[in-house]
Amino acid sequence: MTLPPERIIQNSGLLQTRGLVTHMPNEMDLALPSHNMFSASSHTLPTIDLHSAHLGEQVVSACRDWGFFQVHNHGIPPELLNRLRAHAHCFFELPLQQKERVAACKSNNFYGYGVSKARTYFPNDWMEAFDMEWTPISRVRRHVQQVGLAHARYEDFCGAVEDYASKTEKLAVRLTEQVALGLGLDATAFSRHFEESTTSTVRMNYYPPHPNPSRTLGISPHSDFNIFTILLHDTVPGLQVLKDGKWITVKPSPDTLVINVGDTFQAWCNGRIKSVMHRALVNATEPRLTVVHFFGPHPDTMIVPPAALVDNDNPLRYRSFAYKEMVEQIMHIRGKSVFESPLTSFLL
């Protein structure tokens, strides 16, 4: 469905839609590719069956070569995924005034609802988001309660998020074990650090249609700073991954989950796997929805590569740091016009 004219207000070079504000670049700016342009090259995002043999080797290969992969047979029922998508769509279709009851800016907090200025590194991205804290203490119900949904809908919304997050949390831990095995380590080399506590956020992202999609982005190029990010998408394409200097559009498959490595895990594995740049496109006719689980360790967890990953051929690349230092570094670089990888601050 195209964006109705009454939802668009042109004012002093800024386009305001659904509470979003973006700068409209001039004619000298390079146009972005079509939102549904899939690469004709041999590059295809790796898809891994979690029931297959030699799983650790497959996961490490994908993390090393791409930093991204898709998984199926992940054990999360399609009914739950569809239920979660439905609740996310319903939330973003609420009146702006109602969504702003849980606005992140009210408490100067990261969690809650916000448009691009409050949610991402770049203030001009074309998206809305609703962030809910999952661990170390779940505040999902507190966040959703402020929206003012009817009781039955509130309970089902919270139940869907909690059920999904508990399952994707376990999936993230399992994937760290597969990385450890694929690198020749004990399976618990990383996962033992998650036994007592983790730091995780569930975010619903919404990318409204844009009247000039070739001149803006849903999310600008960036890497994630955590351990693993698990993304559930709908049928509308938009995610692009940087591979060998080219942007590869990920063709969405609703029953799969997209996984990507975070900066912290790259450092923890001494660079044996990689966190890569990615971005999101928008289009003129269809909204796009994703639900993202950002999985990380407890803030005090020390990120020190296992000794087996450091040798003459693979010298230590990053100084040891507490995970909270990585978070502080991210907060420092937010709002800059060009993304800086937080890993540069930890290089030896």
Is beta strand 47-49 parallel, antiparallel or unpaired with respect to 68-72?
parallel
Q: Which residues have a Cβ under 8 Å from the Cβ of 37 and sit 6 or more positions away? A: 249
Helix (H) or strand (E) run with residue 94 in it: none
- For 115, other C-beta atoms within 10 Å of its C-beta total 27
Measured at the CA of 49, the angle between CA 194 and CA 79, to 5 degrees, comes to 80
Q: Catalytic annotation on 288?
A: yes
Residue with tokens 């994707």: 168
Segment (H or E) for 242: strand 239-243
Q: What is the DSSP letter of 250?
A: P
Angle at 245 (CA atoms; ends 240, 249), nearest 5 degrees: 20
Quick one: DSSP state of residue 223? -
Q: Which of 83, 85, 203, 288 is catalytic?
A: 288
Query: Which two tokens mark 55?
Result: 């799983």
What pairing do the DSSP bridges indicate for beta strands 14-17 and 9-11?
Answer: antiparallel
Cα 201 from chain centre: 10
Q: What are 257's strand-pairing partners?
A: 71
- Known catalytic residues are 288
